[in-house]
């Protein structure tokens, strides 16, 4: 871990330590992965404008997200099956984020439950909600988030129908892992991962198992999940969520200007420009390519966050330069988690944070507020 100098280093470590099905669940996208690849390519295509002879001796990466002071302008994004990258992964990631001073967001499809993370941390965290067909269960999740004193609700709106992820099908990915010869042989080569998972709090979806009436066992729970994403979801449901959630509301999964205006019109405190990390509509534009026009359309009405493709502090700087107030980081912290648990997440945060700090200095910026479009080299 001490010799890891980039998120790519952590990714390679995680690939060696995490079973193939779970690593590839994190690492890959939907269909031909055109959008997954565009997220990275379009970020890397943005050249930074180097500046010299600027006094950058006193720099700070501190800013605010939704009015709360944070050490860096990014949060750990909600990611499904985090606890299958490393045992108790959600708790470990939340602790690492809390220690540094950035938000952590727990996914509905987490392994550790809302209550597990609340018991394992000392400060409020965010909770991400999927509005499922069973509205009563969706409301119960909101009630549990309120009871856990979650400080923001992140409503994901781009998973009404799930995009096909070829790697999951080829790997026969299930939670917990299906007992097949290939899986057994693979897990046998990762004894440290297996031992820790066996000792972990949960081995299935903690927010659902034991809370869904009439469901017993992994197979029936999985069938329930597969049938619960709701293609009828619409803006009226957002109004309903707003009526039952008393705290900050973030709408995640916006990629179109018209949708951004509709999201801002709900009274949401923030929207997240995101294509679900290239895991939904393949062929959709990269998130970074849509960010400037969404900021122009609604940036004066609501806080705009950015997600999808960030692997470095330079990427964070690029997103801020194009108008995002903050970012969400998903795969990057998962690679750290798979590589080294809580210490690996802390390492991922540290790598991106340090890269951001140095890149600010070399572009002549001392504070997050000073980052604007002139950071980008327009040629």
| Catalytically annotated residues | 276
DSSP 307-368: -SS--SHHHHHHHHHTT-SEEEE-HHHHHHHHHHHHHHHHHHHHHHHHHHHHHHHHTT--SG
Residue position matching structure tokens 């018991």? 119
Residue position matching structure tokens 């964070």? 316
Q: For the chain, first and last CA: distance in Å? A: 38
What is the rounded distance in angstroms from the CA atom of residue 190 to the CA atom of residue 251?
37
Crossing angle for the helix pair 181-188 and 191-199, to the nearest 10 degrees: 100
Cα atoms in the Cβ-side hemisphere of radius 13 Å centred on 70: 23
What is the rounded distance in angstroms from the CA atom of residue 360 to the CA atom of residue 276?
27
Total Cβ atoms within 10 A of residue 164: 11
R_g over Cα of the chain: 20
Write out the E strands in 199-337.
248-254, 270-273, 303-306, 326-329
Sequence-distant (≥ 6) Cβ neighbours of residue 339 within 8 angstroms? 1, 4, 10, 11, 13, 14, 17, 347
**8 Å CB contact between 341 and 86:** yes
């Amino acid at each position: 871990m001490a010799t890891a100098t980039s998120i790519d280093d952590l990714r390679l470590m995680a690939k060696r330590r995490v079973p193939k099905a779970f690593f590839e669940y994190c690492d890959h996208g939907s269909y031909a992965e055109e959008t997954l690849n565009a997220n990275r390519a379009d970020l890397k295509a943005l050249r930074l404008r180097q500046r010299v002879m600027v006094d950058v001796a006193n720099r700070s990466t501190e800013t605010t997200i939704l009015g709360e002071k944070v050490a860096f302008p990014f949060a750990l994004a909600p990611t499904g099956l985090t606890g299958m990258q490393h045992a108790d992964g959600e708790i470990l990631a939340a602790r690492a984020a809390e220690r540094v001073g950035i938000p952590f967001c727990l996914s509905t499809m987490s392994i550790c439950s809302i209550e597990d993370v609340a018991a394992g941390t000392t400060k409020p965290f965010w909770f991400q909600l999927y509005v499922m067909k069973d509205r009563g269960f969706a409301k119960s999740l909101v009630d549990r988030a309120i009871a856990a004193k979650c400080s923001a609700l992140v409503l994901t709106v781009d998973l009404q129908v799930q995009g096909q992820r070829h790697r999951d099908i080829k790997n026969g990915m299930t939670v917990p892992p299906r007992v097949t010869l290939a899986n057994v042989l693979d897990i046998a080569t990762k004894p440290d991962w297996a031992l820790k998972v066996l000792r972990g709090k949960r081995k299935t979806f903690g927010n659902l198992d034991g809370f869904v009436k009439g469901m017993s066992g992994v197979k029936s729970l999985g069938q329930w999940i597969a049938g619960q994403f709701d293609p009828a979801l619409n803006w009226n449901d957002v109004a309903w969520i707003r009526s039952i959630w008393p705290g900050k509301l973030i709408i995640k999964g916006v990629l179109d200007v018209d949708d951004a205006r509709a999201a801002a019109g709900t009274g949401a405190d923030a929207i997240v420009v995101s294509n679900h990390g290239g895991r939904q509509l393949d062929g959709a534009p990269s998130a970074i390519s849509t960010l400037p026009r969404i900021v122009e359309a609604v940036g004066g009405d609501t806080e705009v966050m950015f997600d999808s493709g960030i692997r470095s502090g330079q990427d964070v700087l690029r997103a801020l330069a194009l108008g995002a107030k903050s970012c969400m980081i998903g795969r990057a912290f998962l690679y750290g988690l798979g590589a080294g648990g809580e210490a690996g997440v802390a390492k991922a945060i540290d790598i991106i944070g340090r890269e951001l700090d140095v890149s600010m200095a070399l572009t002549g910026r001392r504070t997050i507020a000073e980052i604007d479009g002139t950071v980008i080299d327009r040629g």
